[in-house]
Amino acid sequence: MILALKALEKDLKLSLSAVVKLYSIPYTTLYDRRAGRPIRRDTLANSCSLTDLEEQIIVQYVIELSICVFPPRLCSMEDIAN
């Protein structure tokens, strides 16, 4: 994908269709990457209800409990998350 995008940047005469055939990649994928759309794996799911900060705080709390030899319970973690 990176090579295909660089080829498009270098040679302005190349079309998307020509690069797709040359590098054997899907047209829509190349079009999306050229338009700056992120890869699906890099986007957050709509179902995420916690922010990064909230998630880090909960993880830190669980680590602190584990260090003090108090195993975290599922019900207490659910209460904190809610």
Which spans in 11-49 are helix H?
16-23, 27-35
Residue 30 contacts residue 16 (beta carbons within 8 Å): yes
Please identify which residue in the block is written with the tokens 């090579």: 3
User: What is d(CA 2, CA 48) in angstroms, rounded to the nearest whole number?
Assistant: 30
Cβ atoms < 10 Å from Cβ of 19:
19
In this prediction, residue 25 carries a pLDDT of 92
pLDDT tens, residue by residue, 8-54: 889 888 899 999 999 999 999 999 999 988 888 877 776 667 788 88
Residue 7 contacts residue 19 (beta carbons within 8 Å): yes
